[in-house]
Amino acid sequence: MPVLDLKRKLSILADAAKYDASCASSGTSKRDSRGGTGVGSTEGMGICHAYAPDGRCISLLKILLTNYCIYDCAYCVNRVSSNVTRARFSVDEVVNLTLDFYKRNYIEGLFLSSGIIRDADYTMEAMVRVARDLRQVHDFRGYIHLKLIPEASQDLADEAGRWADRLSINVELPRDESLKALAPEKDAGVINRAMGGVRLGIDAAGEKGRRAKPAAFAPAGQSTQMIVGADAASDGEILARSESLYGAYRLRRVYYSAFSPIPDAPGRLPPMRPPLMREHRLYQADWLMRFYGFAREEIIGPAENLELGMDPKLAWALKHRGDFPVDVNVAERETLLRTPGLGVKSVDKMIALRRLKRLALHDVGKLCRRIESVRPFIVASDWSPGGLTDSAGLARSLTPAPQQLELF
């Protein structure tokens, strides 16, 4: 590997990390540097956020330890057979970059992943040393997210959980047979066992009733990522896999990443990426399962795909018009959450407000983003939709045709 300066390494290894979407920094325990000599905070105060060309907000130093990898996963630009420029950070370089960037107010923490060097344990041990040195040597109190290598030993995974706020292991693809075909060195059973080991560590740290307080372990939980569109899996299959993962491993979140064609890709991969709207609809459906009380089978069947032109909550409501309109002054919270146009915060505010007064349509309008989306599905003290709920053109009126953007 040629000798590269630090700036060139950062350019290569930050760009190589962009394909991993599972880097949110929510849900961890609160820490700051008051009362000590440490550096950093998980509060996010005063953090300057940068924006990627595609509009994503980035506030973590998101890098790979190296983009060299002994694996040959067909969908990965860093696979061993890929003709890309390679680079590798030392442990000290990652530690110093994290501290320097934090002190300059560029980031709120570190997201660290890596290709596989030599073997899984060798690579994982280097990543754990980064986190351990930040915490123990420099008393770094900011956010750390480590991407676990499933084939690494459980001892290394356990130590990673001591220093990191969040751990994640990518299941990669929704179908196990696709993983076997496209990533022959990876094993779905090994990935599942590694995720199970993380769950056991999180559960043990959360046990109550012990005399001795258990050691902290990944307080922000674990997450995973699935690539969408690299195989023939339907949206129904993808969400069914997510539903299973949430139940089995108590994941904080499943991330969906639209497959991106890479140079010199094998012919068995799709030549084009799926519509980004498909990724967006999967996130919306995932949100409905986690926060709105929907079961996966209510949203989509196993072999079906989500409608790209309509959000899944509206699609469900149009198929169940007999459940509407709902009276916002008496309906249960669970019923209101199923109403198009109403979110969790707006529903909770409505329930609080109706203890004081009867809600009129303008009251609802103040609490939601677009009252036009809500009106056909609710009854208020001064409003009834009449035949609007069952009108034939309702779907068309709520999903206006896309318009060509102007260039100038």
Q: Using the predicted structure, report yes or no on whether residue 30 has a pLDDT greater than 80.
A: no
**Average of pLDDT values for 238-258?**
95
Which of 25-29, 267-271, 328-332 shows the highest mean pLDDT? 328-332
Task: Quickly state the pLDDT bin for 58 (edges 50, 70, 90).
Answer: low
Q: How many residues does the chain have?
A: 408
Say what the pLDDT of residue 49 is.
Answer: 47
pLDDT in tens, 188-232: 999 999 999 999 999 999 887 666 666 789 999 999 999 999 999
| Structural contact between residues 127 and 66, judged by C-beta atoms closer than 8 angstroms | no
Identify the residue whose tokens are 């990522």: 225
Extract the tokens encoding 252: 């904080």
**Average of pLDDT values for 70-78?**
92
pLDDT in tens, 167-191: 999 999 999 999 999 999 999 999 9
Q: Using the predicted structure, report yes or no on whether residue 53 has a pLDDT greater than 50.
A: no
**Average of pLDDT values for 147-158?**
97
Neighbours of 375 (CB within 10 A): 20
Q: Using the predicted structure, report yes or no on whether residue 67 has a pLDDT greater than 70.
A: yes
**Average of pLDDT values for 103-121?**
92
| Structural contact between residues 128 and 162, judged by C-beta atoms closer than 8 angstroms | no
Q: pTM for the full model?
A: 0.87
Q: Using the predicted structure, report yes or no on whether residue 329 has a pLDDT greater than 70.
A: yes
Task: Quickly state the pLDDT bin for 108 (edges 50, 70, 90).
Answer: confident
Say what the pLDDT of residue 51 is.
Answer: 45
Say what the pLDDT of residue 132 is.
Answer: 98
How does strand 57-58 pair with strand 50-51?
Answer: antiparallel
Three-state SS string across 366-401, please? HHCCCHHHHHHHEEECCECCHHHHHCCCHHHHHCCC
Task: Quickly state the pLDDT bin for 263 (edges 50, 70, 90).
Answer: confident
* Greatest Cα-to-Cα distance within the chain, rounded to the nearest angstrom: 73
Q: What percent of the chain has pLDDT over 70?
A: 87
Q: Using the predicted structure, report yes or no on whether residue 26 has a pLDDT greater than 90.
A: no
Closest C-alpha among 174, 168, 230, 228 to residue 199: 168
Q: Using the predicted structure, report yes or no on whether residue 406 has a pLDDT greater than 70.
A: no
* Helical axes 188-205 vs 154-163, angle rounded to 10°: 50
